[in-house]
Chains A and B, each alone.
Chain A
Amino acid sequence: MSNVPADLKYTREHEWAKQESGRVRVGITHFAQDQLGDVVFVELPKVGTRVRAHQTFGVVESVKAVSDLFAPVSGEIVEVNAALAQKPETVNQEPYAGGWMLVVAPSDAAEWEQLLTAAQYEQFIAEGGH
């Protein structure tokens, strides 16, 4: 059974997003890391890069696949998880905690409302998640 925390929002590409005093922390879901298998590399953009909602911001590599990472919201990247360079397995071990990927200063508050709720995301993955 997948772990889908109720206080987060989600994308159909399996990223989670968390509000933190006006900023948005981003990672991939428990379901995503489970589907990928052992994560061996995470390619993240530099701080200061601008991302747009639904556009790719990086790439996650596992032993069996390479997947694009999609931004849940638009804005400027203010923080990236540099620790993943040395310990990419953190994405598997704690996808919602130490496995976070970036923090965005959002430029369009309305986008937050477009994201899936935990209930919607749970239903989405129950239907196959594609």
Chain B
Amino acid sequence: MFRSIEVSVGIFVGIGLAALFFLAMQASNLSSMSSEGFYEITARFDNIGGLKVRSAVKVAGVKVGQVGKIDYDSNSFEALVTMQVDEKYNRFPRDTIASIFTSGLLGEQYVGLEPGGDEKLLEHQSEISHTQSAMVLEQVIGQFLFSKASDSGGSGNDAPF
């Protein structure tokens, strides 16, 4: 009798721990947080839009790392983004371009890296000099309306289109 109680309690605790393991590995981002080696690249942006810590860093659409830290540089009035790129992808040319993209129309923002043609490689904790800021939807719409208005000759009509 007592033995069978022990067995069933063992099964219960086993299932409980398995459920916890499932929640940790399958149903959360714990497994994608690589604790192995990474190397850091920084980049300065005029505007990072909705980029957050742990946003993805992608090359050719493949996730190679994540954003580790976002700071504001009060001397140059720019955002300083530190990216943690997986150690095995550490071969980026010096003239790599970092841009902030949005996946889908309203999706998450991520940093896209476009490798250039330089022979020299980016080293650990070096800075990417070519960057392109996030597109802010309001600005894009504003520019669109502005260009429409100037296309129509600016004949004095106040209607933008």
Q: Do A and B come from one complex?
A: no
B residues in contact (CB < 8 Å) with A: none
A residues in contact (CB < 8 Å) with B: none
